[in-house]
Amino acid sequence: MTAALTFQNLTLGYGRHPAVHHLETEISEGSLTAVVGPNGAGKSTLLKGVTRVLAPLEGQVSLGTIKRDDIAYLPQQSDIDRSFPITVVDMVAMGLWREIGPLGRMNQHHRSRIAAAISAVGLEGFEDRPIGSLSGGQMQRALFARLLLQDARLVLLDEPFTAIDVRTTADLLGVVRRWHGEGRTVVAVLHDFETVRAHFPRTLMLARELVAHGPTDQVLTAENQFRARQMCEACAGPPHVCGRVAA
């Protein structure tokens, strides 16, 4: 299968301190992949490397046939400034930025698409609400509506279901399945293994280095989880042994 993402000896970090070490693997186009691992495993860092928020310390990320502006990225909610004085409809409309530009005017077709995206995530009636007044689940619905408008081939989600209610999680998983059914590539950082097993056919397990990558039932084994914890704990030691544990 054609690779949507290829990681070639990829090392990412902050300053000169690596958070992802020498990653070598690829993610196929049209796949639905969960990225899992212990806290501090480099999962969010990996998504930032794909979007070029972080430049590689070593190696590279290759995008295959996907263009850089054809990536939609949802960061963790804690990274989003909810004090900014805009309404739900204004924030969702930002998903059309690449299409209409910063000074472009929206026509009726654009407004219809915005309304359809808001409806698709179950937020009808919230259009004029300030985003600062939304609950965590409502905010996540609005962010997913913005992603829908971006119409991207590669969708990156960083902990999209954290601290939201069960109904919202189920509804947004429906959006993810829709993207997958349309042939888009979806990569999501997740902590809940039950959600991963139920909805994500493929899993990439990180512990700063690659632990395993493949069909979810073959990756989420007790052995791999134990090894991932060992590898992350090793990173508390000297840098030259970080991530290195006995097989």
Contacts of 139 (CB under 8 A, 6+ apart): 77, 80, 82, 131
The label of the residue with tokens 């939304």 reads 134
Q: Any idea which of 8-12, 224-228, 241-245 has the lowest mean pLDDT?
A: 241-245
Give the separation between CA 62 and CA 140, rounded to whole angstroms: 29
Task: Tell me the average pLDDT across 64-80.
Answer: 89
Confidence at residue 102, expressed as pLDDT on a 0 to 100 scale: 67
Q: 107-159: per-residue pLDDT in tens?
A: 999 999 999 999 999 999 999 999 999 999 999 999 999 999 999 999 999 99
Can you give the C-alpha Rg of the chain in angstroms? Answer: 19
Q: Any idea which of 50-59, 71-80, 157-166, 225-234 has the lowest mean pLDDT?
A: 71-80
11 by DSSP, 3-state: which?
strand
Give the separation between CA 169 and CA 177, rounded to whole angstroms: 12
- Cβ 95 vs Cβ 150: under 8 Å: yes
DSSP letter, residue 104: P
Q: How many residues are present in the chain?
A: 247
- Of the candidates 110, 111, 99, the one whose C-alpha atom is nearest the C-alpha of residue 152 is 99
pTM of the model: 0.92
